[in-house]
Structure 1
């Protein structure tokens, strides 16, 4: 029950149930402790987490790698990275879960040098990185605009055979896009092909105002019989808005209307933006009057800004 409530994000209820366990004199086991640590991190219940950490030491569980990684994650989530480092250094054994907890902690705090140092230590222990390792590192490179480090990681991603992993490929594409060094050559190297990867490429080109490559990727998507979704069209429409491509934006919107279930308020508002940027204010107003959604302050603010 504690695990289920934690997984569902109802962490306060999970903490309440853990207190009930203690009141009834039931000794929590390793599974209970790992779950409740996650719950403490979820709601930043640092004091409760410290109490449970004390119980962990009392029961002699502090050397367990699963408990250790849960403690690290709890301290990181509560903004106490130093305490997480102390737990990490106190563990006698380190596996991929513990290393990932530390790397993710440094990544969340945008401390790439320490994240990379931990990654190097991981390699030195002959502990193979996994998907979570590369997702954390690539996301940090993306956030901090570290092109060289991100490119170096890209080499390892391919070397380790993660070019087939859609999540890692998407993170790598997003990193290149955020650093402004995305070209269609990246897509040729990566072998994973699904709507998530295609959308990452299209969004990346859209962010870099390269509509021709975004459209080329969209065409390749259809050639692979991979159906576009709402995110695909929103990225393309955003590119049209940024570049002032009214005709192209209208054509895309028309093609979307064949799939009514894909149309959302964001798509209408982006078309409002396209008209607004081109000075076609009456078109924006007419569209806002006919949008099949009631409350739409974003759309009207967009028109006001265009005026």
Structure 2
């Protein structure tokens, strides 16, 4: 339909015009049309408008529920996506493949392993066909939640796989520290005559980075264009910087950036800056920050990285100077956040949080844990923490 097309190309103006036409002609009682409107608004980023229409529907079938859940998921409002999925369960609407893919995507973002496992069990229980799309969503979910063995198991059990399926597994293995296994699957993929794409090579280069395979990284980087006609994008150049700098080749990484045929972005320079902290390279760290500040002058993490580089080599005055610059410019440190799932409920924790409903119990548990860690002989490195005191 036209509304579906509007959603796909995010043409909100035309979609709104059609919405007004539907209302003017008294067609708002048509559930198919309203569902299409929900889908269109959600895909155009107007999730609250979509939800308002969804709530007004007297009857909602699986298509309507799936459109709304998918809208929340695509807008990164994953907690709301899962909450709506639980509502859907309460009213006994049977989910379909689209529902499951959206729910698994939200579980991946939140790290909601138990909820995702329940979805997988439901798929098995209902004997839903493990299509390429659904199977790939499961592979991605397990990998992003750190259950890489389950990810591989699902992948191996998929009757059909496409380049996206292989790419998701390769990226999952790489991000879970199994770079060599990721490359083994890449070689297997090639044996099966499946052509890699540009995203596949991001996964392959990440695998080389995590496994410390510098020479192999160069080979793959050159092979992209030479053997597959894939022009490297900024992400591929960023991966090469990561490969070199992680291996301690800071100067080589710096020269690689300087010789790039495309303009490096802040992410590329930030990758180098992070490695400068690990390898205590002050000079290139300073140079990296200067380039970053020209591109993104208000990112607090970059100042903190350089400050920590100074602290790691004992240059306390410079470390404090960088922190002072942050205050002068009104740049505040973004608080750290962690997420955990317990009994199907997602809990979020922020650094220096003083409004959490279980604040006292959390701090008591933390204090007790620190005492036990010290008794076990652990001595924390508080050099950088002094700057936040």
TM-score under structure 2 length normalisation: 0.59
Residue aligning to 1:280: 249
Q: 1:248 aligns to what SS in structure 2?
A: helix
Residue aligning to 1:229: 197
Q: What is the Cα deviation at residue 304 of structure 1?
A: 4.9
Cα distance in 2 for partners of 1:103, 1:269 equals 34
Residue aligning to 1:152: 118
Residue aligning to 1:9: 10
Residue aligning to 2:87: 117
Cα distance in 2 for partners of 1:285, 1:241 equals 16
Residue aligning to 2:64: 98
**Cα RMSD over matched residues?**
3.1
Cα distance in 2 for partners of 1:102, 1:130 equals 13
Matched, 1:271 2:240: yes
Q: 1:85 to 1:222 in 2, by over 3 A?
A: same
Q: Residue 246 of structure 1 contacts residue 278 of structure 1 at CA under 8 Å; is this kept in 2?
A: yes
Cα distance in 2 for partners of 1:182, 1:97 equals 32
Cα distance in 2 for partners of 1:13, 1:63 equals 21
**Which one of 155, 176, 179 corresponds to residue 145 of structure 2?**
179
Residue aligning to 1:139: 105
Residue aligning to 2:367: none
Q: What is the Cα deviation at residue 214 of structure 1?
A: 1.0
Q: Residue 41 of structure 2 contacts residue 50 of structure 2 at CA under 8 Å; is this kept in 1?
A: yes
Q: 1:208 to 1:267 in 2, by over 3 A?
A: same
CA displacement, residues 270-292 of structure 1 (integer Å, 9 cap, x when unaligned): 1122112222233224433443x
Q: 1:219 to 1:228 in 2, by over 3 A?
A: same
Deviates more, 1:72-81 or 1:196-205: 72-81
Q: 1:244 to 1:146 in 2, by over 3 A?
A: same
Matched, 1:210 2:211: no
Residue aligning to 2:160: 192
TM-score under structure 1 length normalisation: 0.72
Question: Higher helix proportion, which one?
Answer: 1
Alignment of 1:29-44 (within 5 A): 36-37=18-19
Cα distance in 1 for partners of 2:9, 2:52 equals 27
CA displacement, residues 230-253 of structure 1 (integer Å, 9 cap, x when unaligned): 211111211322343323323333
Deviates more, 1:148-157 or 1:68-77: 68-77
**Which one of 67, 73, 79 corresponds to residue 48 of structure 2?**
79
Residue aligning to 1:45: none
Q: 1:148 to 1:2 in 2, by over 3 A?
A: closer
Q: 2:229 aligns to what SS in structure 1?
A: helix
Cα distance in 2 for partners of 1:170, 1:83 equals 32
Q: 1:2 to 1:254 in 2, by over 3 A?
A: closer
Cα distance in 1 for partners of 2:14, 2:133 equals 32
Residue aligning to 2:215: 247
Cα distance in 2 for partners of 1:102, 1:14 equals 17
Q: Residue 68 of structure 1 contacts residue 87 of structure 1 at CA under 8 Å; is this kept in 2?
A: no
Q: What is the Cα deviation at residue 196 of structure 1?
A: 0.6
Unaligned 5+ segments in structure 1 are 19-35, 38-50
Cα distance in 1 for partners of 2:30, 2:4 equals 22
